[in-house]
Structure 1
Amino acid sequence: MNKRKLGTSELYVSEISLGCMSLGNDVEQAKSIIDRALDAGINYLDTADLYGFGENEKIVGEAIKGRRDDLIIGSKGGNNFDAEKEDWSWDPSKEHIKQACKDSLKRLGTDYIDLYQLHGGTIDDPIDETIEALDELKKEGLVREYGISSIRPNVIREYVKRSQIASVMMQYNALDRRPEEEILGLLEKNEVSVLARGPLAKGMLSTKGYEKAQEKADGGFLDYTEEEVLAITRKWKGLGSQHRTPTALALQYVLHEPTVATAVFGARTLEQLEDTLSFLESEPMTELLYSEIKDMTTPITYQKHR
């Protein structure tokens, strides 16, 4: 598995990585998925305190016992939640961020988090206070690097300008090309990496993409109409070949961008994981094919948070 450097840090993450939100509550099944992913060369696991109101971190922590040194663990904080009431509220205060990180460490059963990310954020937040908390966590050795998880251009620009973030996690795939228009260039210039979440567009760019689109494209997707999504996913399936699955093509598309460090996918089952791992045996994507994908999709832009 090829690895890419995360920003200017000393962390190198596998080109594809496992987003753990979809693992569910069955510890044994989750462990089997994580074990298979790690055996295939994946070294980055991404979770958050809000996933399952802390339960996902506990499951990940249980699954990685004995393998911690082989992994790069990412988690996120910023949401003050009540697990019993299944309710939460946004809280980017220094006090909360530092406590949330320490709570995540306990649930994960580890002494440090490799990449701690702010799980959201608005331009009205006390950004300098949040950055101070993240800097202190790094100085204290509780986190190795920090980043943000956001698709808000105005927030991303502020953190790039005012902090030492190593990464930005954002939705990016061939159907959601919004980062290409104004964010990827900014991040590349400032040596900040992208963690591309949702590279399969809710499964619509996977091997079973057309079927998924029939289920999930009701009313359209972003600026695409339902008819446009169905047409693209039908054609996408045809772009696959004996040596490259549609799923692998979707991952190759986002990884074509040099500032993307890893494509973070989810897997509920071993079958879904194996489909994603087809990426490892795929023939390289040609520039001609990359251009064809650009031509069949639309370079939409962010309309909010200017």
Structure 2
Amino acid sequence: MKQNQLGSSELRVSEIGLGCMSLVPENAAEGKEIIKRAYEEGVTYFDTADLYQFGWNEEFVGKNIRPFRDNIVLSTKVGNRWTANKKSWDWDPSKTYIKQAVKDSLHRLGTDYIDLYQLHGGTIEDNMDETISAFNELKQEGLVREYGISSIRPNVISYYAEHSQIVSVMMQYSILDRRPEEEMLDFLHEKNISVIARGPVAKGWLTERALNRSKSDHYLEYEGKEIQEIVKGLQDKLDSERTLSQTAIRYSLHHPAVAAVIPGASSVEQLLSNVGAAHTPELSADDVAVIQSLSKASVYGQHRR
């Protein structure tokens, strides 16, 4: 599988990674096989977070990547802390919390270092300089190799791009969520900061299953019936050598700012379909034009700060 450099760092990631949030305790045996098969298929980027399943996800991923730990890029996130009753979480980007949370993540992951440590959100009201200082100290201490942020807030992203050493920004990006195209992708590419695209198949709407879903459902600004028309258009106008989900993954990779996409997988079959996109041709300029003619060029309205 193609490996891409992550920003200006020495980290190289597979263009299709594995978003591990969909690995759950109820399906642990399948999850173990998914991680194993992902690595065998060339996946070298595995993404988790301390928030997922109250830390179980980090423990599970850490245990199952151990045989090939030094051959992959392991990523996790910080900033959200569960409340005492574990019914919600609070936002805490303080240096004190980050420097304690990284030790907890390292323990759960069973590793001495995190390749990519990401701030799991953020607002313009945060003391961002304090947060940046925390991440820089973690790099100096050798606990993390590089850091980035996971955010869809343009003003927050811009501040980190201008004032920190982030090498990546994780953001939602798909045929049905083209908001990053308006003001983020070119900007980050010029800054040599890579995008990690999450949600490439839009919660399953960009798969063949979309035609069987309710027309009254919604995804962002789309109604289900609108998405179904887009899906039919994509199937009619694009080359059939890719499945719809593979076309969606390829679209999220088409901009040079994007280093990796991280679709989740709840079965080995789904994983193999996702990584199979790596073996299909890249989208042509005509393909991209068709896709963009069928979908909306939306912009960030809410969540700017």
**TM bucket, shorter chain:** over 0.9
Matches within 5 A, 1:1-306: 1-25=1-25, 26-82=27-83, 85-211=86-212, 214-215=213-214, 218-239=216-237, 241-304=239-302, 305=304
Looking at structure 2, the residues matched to 194 and 20 of structure 1 have their Cα atoms a distance apart, in angstroms, of: 18
Does the CA contact (< 8 Å) of 2:148 and 2:169 recur in 1?
A: yes
SS, match of residue 97 in structure 1: helix
Report which stretch shifted further, 63-72 or 239-248.
Answer: 239-248
CA contact (8 A) 1:27 1:63 kept: no
**Offset at residue 239 of structure 1 (A):** 4.8
Q: 1:267 to 1:239 in 2, by over 3 A?
A: farther
After superposition, the C-alpha distances for 1:19-69 in whole angstroms (9 at most, x for unaligned) are: 000011143321100011100000000000000010000110111122101
Tell whether the 8 Å contact from 1:48 to 1:57 is kept in structure 2 after alignment. yes
Q: Secondary structure at the match of 1:129?
A: helix
Residue type of the alignment partner of 1:141 = G
Give me the whole-angstrom Cα distance separating, in 1, the residues matched to 2:111 and 2:11: 17
Q: Which amino acid aligns with 1:18?
A: L
AA aligned to 2:101 is A
Which residue identity is paired with 1:15? Answer: E
Counterpart residue identity of residue 172, structure 1: Y
Q: Which runs of 5+ in 2 are unaligned?
A: none
Aligned length in residues: 303
CA contact under 8 A between 2:83 and 2:90: conserved in structure 1?
A: no
Aligned counterparts of 1:15 and 1:66: Cα–Cα separation in 2: 21
Displacement after TM superposition at 1:276 (Å): 1.1
1:15/1:261 contact within 8 Å kept = yes
Residue 185 of structure 1: CA displacement? 1.3
1:76 aligned counterpart, secondary structure: strand
Q: CA deviation at 1:87?
A: 3.1
Equivalent position amino acid for 1:269 in 2: S
- One-letter code aligned to 1:118: L
User: Helix, strand or coil: the match of 1:173?
Assistant: coil
Residue 220 of structure 1: how far off its partner (Å): 2.7
Deviations 1:192-239 (A, max 9, x none): 00000001111111243333xx25x64432222333122112323445
CA contact 1:209–1:237 (8 Å) conserved in 2: no
Shift of residue 250 of structure 1? 0.8
In the TM superposition, residue 272 of structure 1 has moved relative to its aligned partner by 1.0
Give the unaligned 5+ runs of structure 1. Answer: none
| Contact preservation (8 Å) 2:238, 2:287 | no
Higher relative contact order (CA 8 A, sep 6+): 2
- Answer whether contact 1:207 1:275 (CA < 8 A) is retained: no
CA 218–140 in structure 1, closer or farther in 2 if over 3 Å, else same: farther
Secondary structure (helix, strand or coil) at the match of 1:65 reads helix
Whole-angstrom CA distance in 2 between matches of 1:58 and 1:86: 21
Moved over 3 A (4+): 237-242
Residues in 2 aligned to 1:239 and 1:36: alpha-carbon distance in whole angstroms: 33
Q: Does the 8 Å CA contact 1:80/1:96 hold for their aligned counterparts?
A: no
Distance 2:210 2:228 in 1: 9
Distance in 2 (alpha carbons) for counterparts of 1:237 and 1:258: 25
Conserved 8 A contact 1:4-1:12: yes
Kept in 2, the 8 Å contact 1:240–1:246? The answer is no
Task: Give the structure-2-normalised TM-score.
Answer: 0.95
- Please say if residues 177 and 299 of structure 1, whose CA atoms lie closer than 8 Å, have aligned partners that are also in contact: yes
1:41 counterpart SS class: coil
RMSD, aligned α-carbons: 1.6
